[in-house]
Chains A and B, each alone.
Chain A
């Protein structure tokens, strides 16, 4: 079984609970993929993520489904089938995103006789179905014929509407968790790891702190006596921004954007990068970097601007 079957199952169900998703992963007996770059960054033990979490994040990154995002209080929902077009070096590419059923795929194949349709398989991801054409309008027409929605310049459309990582709308005031039983760690930019700390450190100094108790984790950004809660990837880039550290590398000629796995971009920014490349990032085990291929310059610039990073 593969993630394809899981996506078909999700599409048939349309939406469901988190438990149902996990049950489906169990029942479909999805093989453990490579997933070595996927560490549960928020867990104290830095353990390898369970398969259902890897699949969930991958589905989210590609935009096939949204989890806990307006779908239901504790569930998932499949997004409507969409051709997400992005401009590349050799024309336009449209990635099939969202629900997938045998009938829908048949319609798409029927409609793409004169187009170049490529199906690529990746571990722990549903197959990437990409249609290429020099003309974006032709792709839009194809989407209409196949009964799909169409998003022109999907990566740029997503990125243009996202707040930068230092936007105040992303931060929310929060009290430090109360109680001595919480395990406190502090994120070290230099090592890219969580190091042991104390509650007093969080109270007195600035930085990114993680409070863990059993399966609960609270990420707190402490800055000048104030404490904020914000998503971990955003908090890390906020720290980098404050300390004027640059971690993004962009090779204009090869159009590869390299990012340390520790500093994986926030979900929607990564979604835009993946849609632009029409492929998930490649994990370089030697360097510990995630490589996003075929990232056009406008997308790379916009992503780096949102992350408050300057491209190396």
Chain B
């Protein structure tokens, strides 16, 4: 083209069809990129509001047609389309617009949500800049793998508001952590900077393991940072839709599992909430975590916990049962996944099929129902290695999971109710029964009640908040799940919300023995951690001041007419200072079983008798014969009767020393006497020792490991996987069971763990008491500070001196080194013969305050410490150069005091020759120092 002449101009005529044929492939490829981009983002042409073609090529009819074909009028033809980019660049330069991060940089959390690490807006750095974008501390909720996973991602869509919508993962980094640490303990530091190339530099550091990971993230998305207000945030149908469909969006964290893909589960959390710790792990550190009374677990935690459990009877995992089957009659999984015609039904069908016949119940004609919150005990079982297939719902029953009535939780159950006695009564009598059943459950363990009952109660309360609740009637905790009615899930949710604000707590009945054969029955109101220390509870007849007893209970209350209340039941209501309502409930019943409690002294109400344990049974006078008869069936030794004369409430009799020897089958009707029929189960109990934390005992004071219940079915008991031997005091031991560290106890139907650890071995002195003397005295002028038996110098003195008591006549205390002198202050308000000084040195002598006026006959130089020789004296010139004026002054006073006492010729006490020799040396040294100091 540079050459001159005719060849300079090249003129070739090309028809449109020719051009189209030559470029058609390229055009199709370009338009195909649009198609694939939309497909990649799951968008249709119709969802594009505007397609703005730019650049000179847009004038090609084929391209124009291709865009029009896709977007129609939403791809307008602009008159300046060929230069709009350059015009835009000019405007950007003119407005001095900066580039910013287009989407937040996020981190996958342990709860499967994404939390922004670098939130928007975030201005990207200019040339040669590097901006710290984030600095945060995370914690690992599950340190067992020894690695924490940091998955960085960004939302696929702009302005995605929810934490679970679809994400584009940048990278996942593994940081080595301390696998032996408690969850949430080790701090994991994250520092993130973005440089001018828009590369994010990630710096991860585990503070205990001290492992560091440095990595880079390259493909950050950026955009122009328009002035605020240019694009008001409008809610688009897309973003609305996102919020709704987020949890199952393809490619999201949540959806990966549905797609069958393996997905990394994050084990880090920015918050130190135990709700993020895996359900099967949390129990190792929080044994009462799934206790419904506190209801602090998250739903997925419980789901995970139940998922990893195995059947307490056949010990098969869910997956094993599913693949191998089980012939055990009481197998938990058989109940959940019943066998019909020799085929195990899948989960979804299982919930629709009547449960197998158990005891006296029949499933004929039964309606499948969903029952929630039926009480089941916590059983800590060995971990399972392989995760069985997920089950979306679970079913269990009290009797199937074994027994530990001190700790109960609620699990969702699907059970088949027995047929109603009379269909017409189902909504009346049966309902009444159900309600009382559930009320019992709730009263025993708060928040464990049928949703519908709760709901009914809530609605009742909402009708009349001020109305006193009807006391509940007690029913024995059933050995099979009680019948329930289908409940509307919306109502369930509402009820649950209501329940959060209005919690029912039990009133535990306690019996304590007092002197001279007396006993005392009291009620212990249970307490939540966030409840105030003091609370006033008013009823129609009285008000009670609840004063905190310990973290989980208020102090005992002994209401008037306790006998009637125990029989009829109690419903107390109080408003908490933060406006919430709290309820305390005791279901009325004619019989109470009281047993030993891990954390309370005396005897505390329990669900039923336990084989081998000592109990007190309270019953109404009229029930005494049948109670005695029922107790006799358990093989218990004859019990000692207690009555009103012993301090029991009117109308009640007590039976002391009830120790059942054998289990008794429950009655078919589930009557109240079932509480006197112990189950054939086993409970591992840690007794005695000195417990310094939830599961930790002090080294040297381990717990005694005992089995309670029907120990004949317990077979072998393993401690730290070794067969334990029974000691004469009926506890189990193996070698090293009481050594430092974590230990596990296992028997076929139960398992527990405990830790032996050291306690504190260092205790600091503090100013416990700083007595002051005089009207203007305050802590700053305090003479002394007292802590236990220690007395030290008080006030804001920087020098700590321990109290040295000397006679008032000898109020000058000297140490061995020149300058060590302390003058005790003598109290003028007391005629005391002693005074106290706080020397910061080891005292040696106590001299008269004014030796020249002292009596040679009566006054002495007292030896008040070890007769230490005079310390080294470096010399006057050295001291003058290196000492403060105050120090020099003290040296002079030290010398002066000794010399004056010496000149007076005071004798030492004791006046033994070696002591006298030491004193003579002090006099000589004082004289020499005085001379050299001049």
Give the residue name and chain of the A residue nearest to B700 (CB).
A102
Q: Which chain A positions have C-beta within 8 A of B783? A: 161
Q: How far is the CA of A161 from the CA of B774 in the complex (A)?
A: 12
Give the residue name and chain of the A residue nearest to B689 (CB).
A5
Q: How far is the CA of A79 from the CA of B784 in the complex (A)?
A: 16
| Residues 828-855 (chain B) with a chain A CB within 8 angstroms | 829-836
Give the residue name and chain of the A residue nearest to B696 (CB).
A12
Q: Are B788 and A157 closer than 8 Å at their CB atoms?
A: no
Q: Which chain A positions have C-beta within 8 A of B786? A: 158, 161, 268
Q: Are A32 and B514 closer than 8 Å at their CB atoms?
A: yes
The one of B534, B551, B775, B790 in contact with A149, judged by C-beta atoms closer than 8 angstroms, is B790
Interface residues on B, range: 35 or more
- Could you list 18 examples of A-B contacts with CB < 8 Å? A8-B698, A9-B691, A12-B690, A22-B549, A22-B550, A26-B599, A79-B763, A79-B787, A80-B790, A84-B789, A102-B700, A152-B803, A161-B836, A163-B772, A215-B534, A301-B833, A302-B832, A305-B831
| Residues 523-575 (chain B) with a chain A CB within 8 angstroms | 534, 545, 547-552
The one of A8, A169, A271 in contact with B774, judged by C-beta atoms closer than 8 angstroms, is A169
Q: Are B763 and A99 closer than 8 Å at their CB atoms?
A: yes
Check: B764 CB closer than 8 A to any chain A CB: yes
The one of A14, A69, A82, A102 in contact with B760, judged by C-beta atoms closer than 8 angstroms, is A14
* B680 vs chain A, min Cβ distance (A): 28
Spot the interface stretch: A70-78, A222-230, A241-249: A70-78
Check: B504 CB closer than 8 A to any chain A CB: no
The one of A13, A27, A66, A137 in contact with B599, judged by C-beta atoms closer than 8 angstroms, is A27
Q: Which chain B positions have C-beta within 8 A of A27? A: 598-601, 691
Q: Which chain B positions have C-beta within 8 A of A5? A: 690, 701
Check: B692 CB closer than 8 A to any chain A CB: yes
Q: Which chain B positions have C-beta within 8 A of A275? A: 789
For the complex with contacts A80-B788, A160-B803, A167-B777, 19 further pairs of A-B residues with Cβ separation under 8 Å are A12-B760, A14-B759, A22-B549, A30-B601, A80-B763, A80-B790, A98-B788, A102-B699, A102-B700, A153-B804, A153-B834, A157-B784, A161-B794, A162-B771, A163-B774, A169-B772, A169-B773, A305-B831, A306-B830
Q: Are A167 and B773 closer than 8 Å at their CB atoms?
A: yes
The 8 A CB mask of B577-603 against A (1 = contact, 0 = none) is: 000000000000000000000111100
Q: Are A12 and B759 closer than 8 Å at their CB atoms?
A: yes
Q: How far is the CA of A22 from the CA of B549 in the complex (A)?
A: 6
Q: Are B767 and A70 closer than 8 Å at their CB atoms?
A: yes
Give the residue name and chain of the B residue nearest to A167 (CB).
B773
Q: How far is the CA of A156 from the CA of B804 in the complex (A)?
A: 9
Q: Which of A1, A169, A271 has the most CB of B within 10 A?
A: A169
Q: Which chain A positions have C-beta within 8 A of B701? A: 5, 8
The 8 A CB mask of A232-267 against B (1 = contact, 0 = none) is: 000000000000000000000000000000000000
Q: How far is the CA of A25 from the CA of B602 in the complex (A)?
A: 12
Q: Which chain A positions have C-beta within 8 A of B601? A: 25-27, 29-30
Q: Are A214 and B545 closer than 8 Å at their CB atoms?
A: yes
The one of B760, B784, B802, B830 in contact with A11, judged by C-beta atoms closer than 8 angstroms, is B760
Q: Which chain A positions have C-beta within 8 A of B768? A: 66, 69-71, 77, 79
Check: B881 CB closer than 8 A to any chain A CB: no
Q: Are B767 and A98 closer than 8 Å at their CB atoms?
A: no
Q: Are A9 and B789 closer than 8 Å at their CB atoms?
A: no
Q: Are A66 and B515 closer than 8 Å at their CB atoms?
A: no
The 8 A CB mask of A40-76 against B (1 = contact, 0 = none) is: 0000000000000000000000011110011100000
Q: Which chain A positions have C-beta within 8 A of B758? A: 12
Check: B805 CB closer than 8 A to any chain A CB: yes
Q: How far is the CA of A20 from the CA of B767 in the complex (A)?
A: 22
* A266 vs chain B, min Cβ distance (A): 10
Q: Are A156 and B834 closer than 8 Å at their CB atoms?
A: yes
Give the residue name and chain of the B residue nearest to A163 (CB).
B773
| Residues 84-108 (chain A) with a chain B CB within 8 angstroms | 84, 95, 97-99, 101-104
Interface residues on A, range: 35 or more
Q: Are A163 and B550 closer than 8 Å at their CB atoms?
A: no
The one of B760, B784, B833, B835 in contact with A13, judged by C-beta atoms closer than 8 angstroms, is B760
Q: Are A8 and B769 closer than 8 Å at their CB atoms?
A: no
Check: A168 CB closer than 8 A to any chain B CB: yes
| Residues 684-721 (chain B) with a chain A CB within 8 angstroms | 688, 690-692, 698-701
Check: B511 CB closer than 8 A to any chain A CB: no
* A33 vs chain B, min Cβ distance (A): 10
Q: Which chain B positions have C-beta within 8 A of A214? A: 545
Q: Which of B547, B688, B794 has the most CB of A within 10 A?
A: B688
Q: Are B790 and A161 closer than 8 Å at their CB atoms?
A: no
Q: How far is the CA of A306 from the CA of B774 in the complex (A)?
A: 13
Q: Are A23 and B599 closer than 8 Å at their CB atoms?
A: yes
Q: Are B765 and A149 closer than 8 Å at their CB atoms?
A: yes
User: 3 smallest A-B Cβ distances: which pairs?
Assistant: A12-B759, A79-B788, A23-B550
Check: A151 CB closer than 8 A to any chain B CB: yes
Q: Which chain A positions have C-beta within 8 A of B763? A: 11, 14, 78-81, 98-99
* B914 vs chain A, min Cβ distance (A): 14
Q: Which chain B positions have C-beta within 8 A of A218? A: none
Give the residue name and chain of the B residue nearest to A94 (CB).
B789
Q: Are A137 and B767 closer than 8 Å at their CB atoms?
A: no
Q: How far is the CA of A150 from the CA of B865 in the complex (A)?
A: 13
Q: Which chain A positions have C-beta within 8 A of B551? A: 19-20, 23
* B352 vs chain A, min Cβ distance (A): 48
Q: Are B790 and A70 closer than 8 Å at their CB atoms?
A: no
* B725 vs chain A, min Cβ distance (A): 25
* B175 vs chain A, min Cβ distance (A): 34
A23-B551, A26-B601, A169-B774 known; A160+B759 contact, CB < 8 A = no
Q: Are B759 and A13 closer than 8 Å at their CB atoms?
A: yes
The one of A9, A95, A103, A160 in contact with B690, judged by C-beta atoms closer than 8 angstroms, is A9
Q: Which chain B positions have C-beta within 8 A of A164? A: 829-830
Q: How far is the CA of A169 from the CA of B775 in the complex (A)?
A: 5
Q: Which chain B positions have C-beta within 8 A of A168? A: 774-775
* B767 vs chain A, min Cβ distance (A): 6
Check: A298 CB closer than 8 A to any chain B CB: yes
The one of A70, A101, A137 in contact with B759, judged by C-beta atoms closer than 8 angstroms, is A101
The one of B514, B548, B772, B866 in contact with A137, judged by C-beta atoms closer than 8 angstroms, is B866
Q: Which chain A positions have C-beta within 8 A of B493? A: none
Q: Are A20 and B514 closer than 8 Å at their CB atoms?
A: no
Q: Which of B551, B690, B802, B866 has the most CB of A within 10 A?
A: B690
Check: B912 CB closer than 8 A to any chain A CB: no
Q: Which chain B positions have C-beta within 8 A of A104? A: 761
| Residues 143-185 (chain A) with a chain B CB within 8 angstroms | 149-154, 156-158, 160-164, 167-169
The 8 A CB mask of A272-302 against B (1 = contact, 0 = none) is: 0001000000000000000000000010011
* B788 vs chain A, min Cβ distance (A): 3
Q: Which chain A positions have C-beta within 8 A of B550? A: 19-20, 22-23, 26
Q: Which chain A positions have C-beta within 8 A of B771? A: 161-163, 169, 268
